[in-house]
Amino acid sequence: MSALSLPDHLLAQLGEKRQLCVAFSGGLDSTVLLHALLQLRASRLPDLQLRAIHVNHGLSAFAHGWTAHCQALCQLWQVAFLPLTVSVDASQGGIEAAARSARYQALAAQLLAGETLLTAQHLNDQCETFMLALKRGSGPAGLSAMAASTQLAGHSWLRPLLSLSRPQLEAYALQHQLQWIDDDSNQDARFDRNFLRLEVLPLLYQRWPHFAAATARSAELCAEQEALLDELLQESLAALTDQQNSLSIDGLQGLSAPRRSALLRRWLANCGAQMPSRQQLQRLWDEVALSRDDAEPRLQLGAFSVRRFRQRLYWLPPMQALGDRVIAWSGVEPLSLPDGLGSLRFVTSSAEGLQLRQPRADETVTVRFHASGDVHKVGRDRRRPIKKLWQELNIPPWQRDRIPLIFYNQQLIAAAGLFITREALSSDGQEATWWLQWSHKNN
């Protein structure tokens, strides 16, 4: 492809998308992408809307200078510019993975409704990604490397330069006399990707000039195989999952190990999980799915976890520990609950919610998330341990300390959305009552 045809190449990649946000590092690749989009807007697409977002990871002494360079270039080109700063925690997965995760979280948070994210990875980047996956022992999903079109937090995400080589981008940049940033960390061969780029791939390109294109074809073939498997297993996966997206263990047990593993991977992908290693997947099955009946097994995968309840697997986000929380509440105004658990309110007339007596003069209302001992639930002839009640109500262990409990003084009165105790009833039938309502998503 000649340098002059790059805008035409982008036109074909964009389709009908006209509201674009470029992840703009200021390096060669993103500078070429942004410039070519401006050329396309000037020549073919006057309705093209462009923004650039620059993410400062704070990992280089030159980072602020790079931000200033990007801002000045966008000002010169009259492109809306948004600088972002992120914190990188290398404790999980190394600094490269942590920086990438922080970068895309920041980008996802700033995308506008209807906006498409564009990133500037090219053919040689694809080759590096394929080789890194090969080094990790990845299967077809990992070897699929990067997709030209995917999703990020519900937004379209395009990599329109993925079929073009770095030399092609350099030729365009030189022809248009572009200036770009050279990240000093790209010369540090201690990082795996840089080691491949600096030490290994030049030898392979010298021996086999089309090596990058060949690996890209292999990645495409792996992606096709994964797409076919997705299609073939979609019906089976739908039959094994419920409205909460939990997965049936019994439905998996009669399957061959390869089919079971393929379904587990697709279930995790649907949950938004980063693909586990083969060893982690085996641990999920052996230590969580097949653990003894009275166990409460858990497998941690990054910040998330997989747990089992009633022969089903659940994918769970991080949760605050709320067992010790005690929240004073007048009951007059709605109460916002911690950790995204919604809100509570009392109303004096309603057809919905739990009806209970209002507190007496010597009683104060608190909201808690843990109770112990025996409870006399209305409708039962005797008291029962609250643990038994949770079991009867099919409440998973991780949700039992996340259900708002209404106390009058030290007495449990109600479990929001579930039951009231005998102590919630009027002693003489004359006490004023109100209705407890809990507005929440499933947590």
Domain ranges of the chain: 6-218, 241-316, 326-439
Say whether pLDDT at 1 is over 80. no
Query: CATH second-level architecture of 6-218?
Result: 3-Layer(aba) Sandwich (3.40)
Say whether pLDDT at 3 is over 50. no
Query: pLDDT tens digits for 52-61?
Result: 999 999 888 8
CA 138 – CA 144 distance, rounded (Å)? 10
Say whether pLDDT at 214 is over 50. yes
Higher pLDDT, 189 or 89: 189
Query: pLDDT tens digits for 249-307?
Result: 999 999 999 999 999 999 998 888 877 888 889 999 999 999 887 788 889 888 889 99
Q: Is the model's pTM score more than 0.85?
A: no
CA 123 – CA 314 distance, rounded (Å)? 38
Say whether pLDDT at 4 is over 60. no
Say whether pLDDT at 173 is over 60. yes
pLDDT for the residue 442: 60
Q: Does residue 426 have a known ligand-binding role?
A: no
Query: pLDDT tens digits for 402-443?
Result: 999 999 999 999 999 999 999 999 877 788 899 999 998 765
Q: Does residue 58 have a known ligand-binding role?
A: no
Residue carrying structure tokens 């931000």: 67
Say whether pLDDT at 110 is over 70. yes
- Nearest CA to 67 out of 84, 49, 48 is that of 84
Q: Does residue 324 have a known ligand-binding role?
A: no
CA 183 – CA 60 distance, rounded (Å)? 9
Q: Does residue 242 have a known ligand-binding role?
A: no
pLDDT for the residue 93: 63
Q: Does residue 248 have a known ligand-binding role?
A: no
CA 234 – CA 177 distance, rounded (Å)? 50
Query: pLDDT tens digits for 304-324?
Result: 899 999 999 999 988 888 989
Q: Does residue 91 have a known ligand-binding role?
A: no
Query: pLDDT tens digits for 135-153?
Result: 988 888 888 989 999 999 8
pLDDT for the residue 2: 52
User: Can you name the CATH fold of 241-316?
Assistant: Chorismate Mutase Domain, subunit A (1.20.59)
- Nearest CA to 165 out of 212, 203, 119, 198 is that of 212
Q: What is the mean pLDDT of residues 334-360?
A: 90
Consecutive H or E run containing 83:
strand 80-85
